[in-house]
Amino acid sequence: MKEAQILNGYEIAKERYAAIGVDTDKAVAELEKQQISLHCWQTDDVIGFESGEALSGGIQTTGNYPGRARNIDEVRSDLEFVKTLLAGNHRVNLHEIYGDFGGKFVDRDKVGVECFESWVQWAKENNFKLDFNSTSFSHPKSGDLSLSNPDPAIREFWIEHTKRCRRIADAMGKAQNDPCIMNIWVHDGSKDTTVNRKYYREILAESLDEILKEELPGMKTCLEAKLFGIGLESYTVGSMDFFEGYCATRKVIYTLDTGHYEPTENVADKVASLLLFVPELMLHVSRPIRWDSDHVTIMNDPTLELFKELVRADGLKRAHVGLDYFDASINRIGAYIIGTRATQKCILSALLEPLAKLREYEANGQYFQRLALLEEAKTLPFGAVFDYFNWKNNVPVGEEYISCIEQYEKDVTSKR
Ligand code: RNT
Ligand code: ZN
């Protein structure tokens, strides 16, 4: 797109928004500050570098598009390329199985900071901040139950793993002078009718209490709830109710993965309740199609609503925004850019809402006016502001990134 076109479009948009009390420059500045945690597992279909064990634990990737990253250098090179196509400074979200194990097998109860030193170094060189995840899936000891396992040996193994991961996250946070956000998701559940439902939840709560005992100022822990997993359809130990209660009573960050709720549930509406009772939120922005299918995030109604609710609740500053999908059926780098830019579009759209006026209408009981303005806001020249945002940050504007990704595919990923 031509520079003059972008700037003219922006000037018109700026005036139009100003007329309803919205400052577009301010919204763009806020969006520039909003970091998005890029989930490293989109590069290689959640395989990692531990042993190449098949993905298990209720999650699944589908597709075999060529060009999957096969080793640590390829994951890093893909992420470095991704960075060139995104405005703003972002984070990289690592799973434990993406450690730099130096060709050796390091079991999960033996992992330590040394396995992530090269990541810390790489992140520093590339101006990324790191986030982290313990990994309880894809392991011979995963089974159906990990932290909620009645067998003390298995439970201890996973407690030890998770404690070590928290220490790794702490070291990352200290090295980058910014807390590393560590997510704990365990797949624990059961395929069929379960009668001891409360029992496993008691064990999970006990395990988590044990894990969280250690004070680690360089990191923050968050806990992810889920509806069900593949092969674990009837019962999920770490359900919504479980983690809402746990996070509220223990004051722990709640991870809201948009793929983890009933298909007709209004996920966005959870934000304004959760923010009253948990310290912060971690978001896994995803797109479920019929189930938790982890499709590439797009600018759709649920995602728009999610960020509108966050802005309306003044909660964006209490939310850590991350992505969580794994699509192996299309160009994986393309999947990153579509999803990250879609998330940025949804955030921008929320920041451009004429909130002051809408609140005034609501307070006065002027409900026709409120609905009318919400409708009109949908067709304001939002795209011109998003184009300007990308132009201002020297990254491709609009569909220009398609050819950049095609070029990278030609030069790099197609040769794998
Ligand atoms: C699984 C959870 C979890 C994983 C990642 C790989 O349903 O969403 O966040 O996707 O940890
Ligand atoms: Zn998730």
β-sheet bridge partners, residue 222: 183, 253
- Give CA–CA dist 134/173, Å, rounded: 15
pLDDT at position 54 is 82
**pLDDT < 70 stretches in the chain:** none
Q: Is 133 a pocket residue for ligand 1 (Cβ < 6 Å)?
A: yes
Cβ proximity of 325 and 40 under 8 Å: no
Q: Is 284 a pocket residue for ligand 1 (Cβ < 6 Å)?
A: yes
Cβ proximity of 124 and 108 under 8 Å: no
Tell me the whole-structure pTM to 2 decimals. Answer: 0.98
Q: Whose atoms come closest to the Cα of 183: which ligand? A: 1
Structural element, H or E, at residue 385? helix 382-392
- Give CA–CA dist 245/278, Å, rounded: 9
- The predicted-structure confidence for 191-217, as pLDDT tens digits, reads as follows 999 999 999 999 999 999 999 999 999
Among protein residues, the one with the nearest Cα to ligand 1's atom 1 is 59
Helix axes 117-125, 152-176, angle to 10 degrees: 30
Q: Is 185 a pocket residue for ligand 1 (Cβ < 6 Å)?
A: yes
What residues act catalytically? 185, 224, 226, 257, 260, 284, 292, 294, 324
Residue 255 CA: nearest ligand 1 atom is 9
Residue 346, classified by CB atoms within 10 Å of its CB into exposed (0-12), middle (13-18) or buried (19+), is buried
CA of 324 to the centre of ligand 2 (A): 5
Q: Is 41 a pocket residue for ligand 1 (Cβ < 6 Å)?
A: yes
Q: Whose atoms come closest to the Cα of 44: which ligand? A: 1
CA of 85 to the centre of ligand 1 (A): 25
CA of 55 to the centre of ligand 1 (A): 11
CA of 277 to the centre of ligand 1 (A): 23
The distance in angstroms from the start CA to the end CA of the chain is 32
Mutate to test the pocket of ligand 1, among 134, 185, 221 (most ligand atoms within 8 A of CB): 185
CA of 390 to the centre of ligand 2 (A): 27
Residues bordering ligand 2, an ion, CB closer than 5 Å? 257, 284, 324
- Give CA–CA dist 275/277, Å, rounded: 6
Q: Is 170 a pocket residue for ligand 1 (Cβ < 6 Å)?
A: no
pLDDT at position 1 is 78
Cβ proximity of 321 and 361 under 8 Å: no
- Give CA–CA dist 99/266, Å, rounded: 36
Domains and CATH numbers, the chain: 34-353 (3.20.20.150)
Q: Is 349 a pocket residue for ligand 1 (Cβ < 6 Å)?
A: no
- The predicted-structure confidence for 31-56, as pLDDT tens digits, reads as follows 999 999 999 999 999 999 998 778 99
Q: Whose atoms come closest to the Cα of 60: which ligand? A: 1
Contacts of 366 (CB under 8 A, 6+ apart): 360
Q: Is 131 a pocket residue for ligand 1 (Cβ < 6 Å)?
A: no
- Give CA–CA dist 116/122, Å, rounded: 10
pLDDT at position 52 is 73
β-pairing, 235-236 vs 189-190, is antiparallel
Q: What is the DSSP string of 350-367?
A: HHTS-HHHHHHHHHTT-H
- Give CA–CA dist 14/123, Å, rounded: 36
- Give CA–CA dist 180/174, Å, rounded: 8
